[in-house]
A = this chain, B = another copy of it.
Amino acid sequence: MAVPSSVSVTPTASPLFLRENEVRRGVELLFFGYTRLTRAIDEGLAAHGLGRAHHRALYFVARQPDLPISALLKILAITKQSLGRVLTDLADRGLVETRTGNVDRRQKLLRLTPEGIQFEAQLFDALRNSLASAYAAAGQESVTGFWRVLEGLIPAEDKAMVVALQRDI
């Protein structure tokens, strides 16, 4: 395993054989941080009889209007059938609608209805409150580090997808 030359070699060990403690700390903080963040929106979702799976779809459709279903499938990495149920629920509640693609008429492009936009924004507020206070407490350089490490956890083949999300808006 090659070690990037930009990483300074500590006297103790190669960065790829980090002290177990540092890795466990990351595992644990990721677990607690992620689960606690997601809990921040459970109440809002439950008010509409929806779950986290619905929010994930809602979120990414909000993020990329006119997203084709195939793209959402790649992002969520679940099966067509699982996504189908989720989208049906969202459509039934008038939060998401589809249009036929004009370039490729086989595609259905997903976007939020005005109600969907409002609901997603409301859920996003809860996420923003949590994340913004964590950002503020940690400081800007910490936020940059936070992003960098997480980027390193994303396999190369998925990275383009994430970058595409963050290009627009």
The total of chain A residues at the interface (CB under 8 A) is: 67
Take A30-B34, A56-B31, A63-B24 as given contacts and tell me if A153 and B139 are in contact as well, using a CB distance cutoff of 8 Å: no
Take A34-B34, A152-B133, A154-B33 as given contacts and tell me if A165 and B16 are in contact as well, using a CB distance cutoff of 8 Å: no
Q: Cβ of A27 < 8 Å from any Cβ of B?
A: yes
Take A25-B166, A150-B33, A169-B24 as given contacts and tell me if A15 and B136 are in contact as well, using a CB distance cutoff of 8 Å: yes
- Whether A132 contacts B166 by the Cβ 8 Å rule is no
Contact with B along A3-24 (1 / 0, CB 8 A): 1101110000001111011111
Complex interface: chain B residues within 8 A of A148 (CB): 137-139, 142, 145-146
Complex interface: chain B residues within 8 A of A129 (CB): 16
- Whether B154 contacts A36 by the Cβ 8 Å rule is yes
30 A-B interface contacts by CB (under 8 A): A1-B133, A3-B136, A6-B139, A16-B132, A16-B136, A18-B128, A18-B135, A20-B169, A21-B166, A21-B169, A22-B135, A23-B132, A24-B169, A26-B131, A27-B37, A28-B63, A28-B165, A29-B147, A29-B151, A29-B154, A32-B153, A37-B153, A130-B153, A134-B151, A135-B152, A142-B146, A142-B148, A143-B145, A146-B148, A146-B149
